[in-house]
């Protein structure tokens, strides 16, 4: 059974701090790893990662994948209160048919 | 505007009364999928479809049915809802024949079964 584990489950930081969110996985026929941000509504797409060692960056957010050690990290620098959300990691897998398995998410709270 | 729509957004129903949650996308996407989200369990895949007339079970398909007669629509059917199906449901779609860049989610349907 495919498994995606995120840590920590929740995190409280002060504005301006840098945070690192972790995602490890065990899946059959890995295709890609995706990160989402979920505020009080549907998840919004952040990044898709398929290759090891290549950093994806968008503003203060960045992410990298390690396919050998089977994990990914999401970094957020200079956090703002608007970064408060649940961050979801998901892994797409499958050779002929495709599934997407989500982790339980990391709840990030940024306090002023 | 590219979007995935779901209806209804909120529904309270009783055990055993059949219901359908509709999902529609206007992007000509091939891949569509349903998820349920529960506290402490995260998002779990119910069913997915890689194209018209092609559907497959996800992780938690029991008690649900789907159909994909047209590319744009992917309804979720609960033939005999039970209280353990109380949840927040999301439909999602992707232009690739798979979830590799799954970025379009519907707004969610909050279902309560009493």
pLDDT of residue A97: 61
Q: How far apart are CA B87 and CA B13, in angstroms?
A: 12
B59, B97, B106 member nearest A42 (Cβ): B106
Query: CB distance A98–B105 less than 8 Å?
Result: no
How high is the pLDDT of residue A36?
A: 96
Return the C-alpha torsion angle B92, B106, A64, B95, nearest 10.
40
Residue pLDDT tens, chain A, 112 long: 789 999 999 999 999 999 999 999 998 889 899 999 999 889 999 999 998 888 999 999 999 999 999 999 999 999 999 999 999 999 988 766 677 889 999 999 999 9
Q: How many residues appear in chain B?
A: 114
Specify the residue for token string 């055993």: B16
Report, as an integer, the average pLDDT of B26-51.
Answer: 92
DSSP-based three-state secondary structure for B88: strand
B17–chain A nearest CA distance, Å: 27
pLDDT at A40: 82
Contact residues on chain A for B58, CB-CB shorter than 8 A: 99
CA A47 to chain centre: 8
pLDDT at B73 (0 to 100): 98
* pLDDT tens digits for range B48-98: 998 899 999 988 999 999 999 999 999 999 999 999 999 999 999 988 766
Contact A88, A103 (CB under 8 A): yes
Nearest CB to B33; choose among A31, A50, A100: A100
Helix (H, G, I), strand (E, B) or coil at A73: strand
């Amino acid at each position: 059974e495919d498994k995606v584990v995120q840590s920590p489950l929740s995190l409280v930081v002060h504005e301006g701090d840098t945070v690192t969110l972790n995602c490890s996985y065990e899946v059959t026929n890995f295709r890609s790893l995706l990160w989402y941000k979920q505020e009080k509504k549907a998840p919004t797409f952040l990044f898709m990662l398929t290759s090891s060692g290549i950093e994806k960056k968008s503003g203060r957010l960045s992410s990298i994948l390690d396919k050998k050690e089977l994990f990914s990290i999401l970094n957020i620098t200079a956090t703002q209160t608007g970064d408060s959300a649940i961050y979801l990691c998901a892994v797409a897998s499958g050779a002929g048919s495709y599934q997407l398995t989500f982790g339980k998410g990391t709840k990030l709270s940024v306090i002023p | 505007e590219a979007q995935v729509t779901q209806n209804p957004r909120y529904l309270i129903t009783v055990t055993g009364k059949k219901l359908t949650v509709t999902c529609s996308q206007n992007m000509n996407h091939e891949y569509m999928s349903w998820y349920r989200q529960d506290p402490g369990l995260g998002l779990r895949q119910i069913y997915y479809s890689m194209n018209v007339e092609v559907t497959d079970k996800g992780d938690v398909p029991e008690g649900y049915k789907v159909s994909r007669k047209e590319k744009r629509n992917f309804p979720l059917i609960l033939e005999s809802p039970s209280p353990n199906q109380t949840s927040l449901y999301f439909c999602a779609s992707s232009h690739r024949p798979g979830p590799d860049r799954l970025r379009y989610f519907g707004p969610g349907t909050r279902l309560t079964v009493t």
